[in-house]
A and B are shown apart, each in its own frame.
Chain A
Amino acid sequence: MSQSYILSFITWLPAVGAILILALMKKDQSSLIKKFATAWFGLDFLASLWLLKYNRSVGGMQFLEDHEWIPIIGARYQMGVDGVAVLLIVLTTLLGAIAALSSWEYIQKREKEYYVLLLLLQTAVIGVFASMDLFLFYLFFEVSLVPMYFLIGIWGGENRLYAAIKFFLYTLVGSVVMLLGVLKMYFLTQDTALTSQISQATINLLAGNEQAAQLVSNSLQAAATNGTGTFNILYMQAMGSVLPMGTMQVLLFAAFALGFAIKVPMFPFHTWLPDAHVEAPTAGSVILAGILLKLGTYGFYRFNLPMFPGASKDQSYFGTFGVRSVIVFLAIVSIIYGALAAMYFVVKKDGDVKKLVAYSSVSSMGMVMLGLFALNPNGVNGGVLQMINHGIYSGALFLLVGIIYERRHTRNVAEFGGLSHVMPGYAAIFLGMVMTAIGLPLLAVFISEFLALRGAFEANPYWAAWAALGIILNAGYFLWLYQRMFFGNIDNPKNERLTDLNWREWTYMVPLMILSLWIGVYPKPFLRFIEQPVNAVVKQVRPDYQIPGMQTPAPTQAERAGR
């Protein structure tokens, strides 16, 4: 198996940058530090563009890397990405560069520490998407909390200490419970009664290509030599096909799901999000909404669906309802509740725009979850694409809120009105992003919501109906917000002398706008990245589901029984 080092390079490059800043630059050289850090983020983004060479017709896990790490517990340093992870990594590096660029004026104290932490956060997050070893994944997943804690806690708003510790502990609860699930899965890979039933066809289906399948067998070989289990994610996914459905699988599903649901965040685990967003600095919000929330939905896509197919499609475990019903119910509640809560902040006297965007994220991420648990190619494609789109538009909206906050030092909706007269460029971009968010055709979110809803409709028309209600509410409050902030006369004298976007702000807003248009008008290149991996996951969860045009045959029942 040939090794590729590009993933390690992209992952660790930001950390190297952080060390360089720590070692070479002094505290008072803030202008040098911010330029260096931004350039470094840009470098990482350029490097990540290499991943777009991902062979879409082959699919599966590519850019593989495999090194010995802690053989005695079966953990290896394995990296690899499928199309979904490729898109998420490129989104991460893009938003990272944008976040750094947007912080130049917003951050006025302790710049050195700030950019170091931003770079470290970048490493942790890319590591999460690139890991193919569960142990490694868990490390990155949990370590990513620490830089974010500092970003909120040092550079946040007035109530930052509370928000920082709330964010930290809340998300920690989920990930520590997940650790038990990780351990149990690891011990299950040593359970020969179970693993002997795994068919090579399942592994091939999930790996997607020969090299990835080879990687799995290499890991197994290494595990056998050392007498350990393995943490290889593909192998654990394959184990899902033979894991008996029962209390154990449901509990394992729950252990993983809790960790991810808090990250997503799904109702009722969302309460940390508004606090964290309101207090975080702009760049922190951008990374939080754009990237960190995706760790949760990515986790569902990568772990819960393929590793616990029995529980994922279960509709009867609790009698009249099942695990899937619970998740879908929570997803729909998130969609509607998020929208209603956001609407409240338009109406409220001192409604905070940032809080509004935060709640709209809850709603939007609910759509991702609904798409994923529709368990058909349309739904999952829609869910995955919605992750990317949400990263683009919510990141952009937080940036826009940050821009006005830098000028006015308030985010109160009631303070604004008639901004389109003084800041036409700003108003135009804001309009573009609001239209994206409410799913206007020819803009990105339309495609993903359409796909997700179509998937949900296929699964159960009522789900789609309820979710559509959420979309209507979404459109309602976003348009209302836009009207209150930008139309009418300038009734607040403080708004009369606001300056429009400067070159730096244009530089980071325009790429996001272009991306939104591109995905909206011609989503095919993006969908082709995720098509094959998504089909594989659907096939893994529902082996009997007929996917048109899918070549890789799933193992037949006879084949499974024969082994």
Chain B
Amino acid sequence: MFLLQANTTSIINVADLQLIAPELILTACACVALVMEVVLPYRKSKLTAYFSLVGVALAFVSLAMQWWTMRQALPLDGFYGMVRIDGFALLFKAIFLIAAALAIGISTRFLDIEGEQHGEYYALVLFATVGMMFMACGYDLISLYISLELMALTFYVLVAFTKREKKSNEAAMKYFLLGAFSSGVLLYGMSLLYGIAGSTNVGEIANSVGQIVPRIQGLLQAPAEAATSIDQPIVGLRPLLLLAMIALGAGLFFKVAAVPFHMWAPDVYQGAPTSVTAFLSTGSKAASFALYLRIFSEALEGMRADWAPLLGLVAAITIMVGNWAAVTQENSKRLLAYSSISNAGYLLLGLVAANLYGYIGLIIYLFVYTLMNMGAFGVIISLRRRGIIGDNVDDLTGLGQKAPLMAAMMAIYMLSLGGLPMTGGFIGKYFLFGGLIQRGAAEQKSWYYWLAGWAILNTVVSFYYYVRFIKVMYLGDRIADNKPLALSPALQTALVVSVIGVIVVGVFPQPVIKIAQDLLSAIVS
């Protein structure tokens, strides 16, 4: 029997490989980058960076080709249901690749300053990206978990990359311990889910959850019949389902740094090398949201009534805590860490809404967030010099007169993070709030409106600390110092690309929204 199967179906076929072509390219490039590090002399190790950029570009091209050839036929399954290419997967992968490219762009200069220009760094970035991409297209709890660990493990190493810095080591240790713990919680939730549904495939879990939940509901509503029904034992599954949901939720709250599992974020973000912080706060966060979508919006779709209030509550608290804590920060990396906590809250709103508007908002906000956060960290890196950390808010003092272009870009990133119209951040928030309002109207529940109101009022708080950057850059007449900025062509390119992206999405968002809507509408309906 087994022999027969092995003869008729091959374990790997070409069609399956095509589905993961971008990942294959990246993996190959990462392996080559590892070898390059050994072969090349230290002063030429920057070549590895450019090589990795080429790898990312190739992966992006193959992703674009996938989109072009497969978008009518989506979703496509491969590897016996382990991998699914659908609209979410394509969009998320594009975001990861952009994040990786920008991260490499802003890293070269940073590593030069730190004297840590090693090729492994870029190989690790690529491996992390591969992990993220599989998180977006994994369709099985096993493949999802493995890709999550691939990403997390590489990030533990990356956070510790400036090994001579105590803070970096401390951050890595914290991140590792808490990360391992949260992965355990996540795994626990997954195993419960497997026990209930009898499968690790997301689609099959969705089916069985979708069947069990209404039946439990029916039994709970009619207790008299329930006592005699043969269905009676499944009522006992409800606590288990809830436990699984909460465990999965908690594990993921940790990954996206949502309150109350956010404590690690400020320390890790501050301690990690700035370029890694930038990548961690964008790529890793986006990947965790991809996982959220798979597990909550697909596998646990039938339990929406249970998890929507949970996520809504966590989002509301996260937004508040992140914003209010950021107000008092002096260190700009720490400030942006809290801002990224609050942004995780805003992104959760898209999941709570769980309709086309919400999903478009989630994707566009993640995309823009990647651009603006990378840009902001890039500006912070440019202030860094050997001996001077440059990551206090006050180090930006007078930048408006010292480097007007740089300051203008930073101002745009900040206003966009706050969500001012004519920047991409506004379009993202517009869709997130729109999704909530639409959901509130559809379900006739007022808490969605209040949640939207709460979230939007908190953006005002966020403006307070974003505008602080603008204040120190422009409003004073003092200039922090007259030393030139630490710029490099790659860094400048990354900054300009992000700022153009932020403005284009803000003023002419039509193409971006169109692509997102075309890919997502199939999933939502």
Contacts and interface: CB of A to CB of B under 8 A. Distances in A.
Interface of A: 69-73, 109-110, 113, 138-139, 142-143, 146, 149-150, 153-154, 160-161, 164-165, 168-169, 172-173, 176-177, 179-180, 183-184, 186-187
Interface in B407-457: 415, 420-422, 430, 433-434, 437-438, 441, 449, 452-453, 456-457
B475 A164 contact: yes
A150 B438 contact: no
B436 to A, nearest CB: 9
* Majority SS at the chain A contact face: helix
Given A180-B437, A183-B433, A165 B456 contact: no
Contact of B456 (A69, A168, A179): A179
B499 to A, nearest CB: 15
A187 B517 CA distance: 17
Nearest to B408: A22
Given A73-B513, A143-B420, A179-B456, A172 B475 contact: no
Given A173-B457, A177-B457, A187 B437 contact: yes
A109 B517 CA distance: 49
Most buried by B among A143, A164, A176, A186: A176
Contact of A173 (B401, B434, B460): B460
B460 A142 contact: no
B508 A179 contact: no
A448 B457 CA distance: 37
Contacts of A164: 471, 475
A139 B475 CA distance: 24
B400 to A, nearest CB: 8
Nearest to A70: B510
Nearest to A139: B421
19 contacts: A70-B508, A71-B510, A72-B510, A72-B514, A109-B477, A142-B421, A146-B420, A149-B467, A153-B471, A153-B474, A153-B475, A160-B475, A165-B471, A168-B463, A169-B463, A173-B460, A176-B457, A183-B437, A187-B434
Contacts of A69: 508, 510
Contacts of A153: 471, 474-475
Contacts of A173: 457, 460
B81 interface: no
A88 B278 CA distance: 46
B467 A165 contact: yes
Contacts of B401: 110
Nearest to A136: B421
Contacts, number: 78
Contacts of A168: 463, 467
Nearest to B510: A70
Contacts of A110: 401
Interface string B487-509: 00000000000000000000011
Given A149-B467, A183-B434, A186-B434, 18 more contacts: A70-B508, A72-B510, A72-B517, A110-B401, A113-B474, A138-B421, A142-B421, A146-B420, A161-B471, A161-B475, A165-B471, A169-B460, A172-B460, A176-B457, A177-B456, A179-B430, A184-B437, A187-B437
Q: Which 8 residue pairs spanning A and B have beta carbons closest together?
A: A139-B421, A153-B475, A176-B456, A72-B513, A142-B421, A183-B434, A70-B510, A172-B460
Contacts of B79: none
A360 to B, nearest CB: 29
A180 B456 contact: yes
Most buried by B among A113, A160, A165: A165
A172 B437 contact: no
A187 B452 CA distance: 15
Nearest to A184: B437
A133 to B, nearest CB: 13
B277 interface: no
A186 B430 CA distance: 12
Contacts of B434: 183, 186-187
B459 interface: yes
Contact of B475 (A154, A169, A186): A154
A172 B517 contact: no
Contacts of A72: 510, 513-514, 517
Given A70-B513, A146-B420, A153-B474, A187 B441 contact: yes
A161 B477 CA distance: 12
B178 to A, nearest CB: 34
A351 B293 CA distance: 61
A168 B414 CA distance: 14
Contacts of A138: 421
Nearest to A109: B477
A72 B505 CA distance: 13
A180 B474 CA distance: 31
B181 interface: no
A184 B457 CA distance: 16
Nearest to B411: A146
Nearest to B458: A176
Given A71-B510, A72-B517, A153-B474, A176 B420 contact: no
Contacts of B400: 113
A221 to B, nearest CB: 18
A169 B460 CA distance: 6
A154 B474 CA distance: 7
B209 to A, nearest CB: 30
Contacts of A187: 434, 437-438, 441
B349 to A, nearest CB: 13
Contacts of A160: 475
A504 B373 CA distance: 48
Nearest to A255: B453
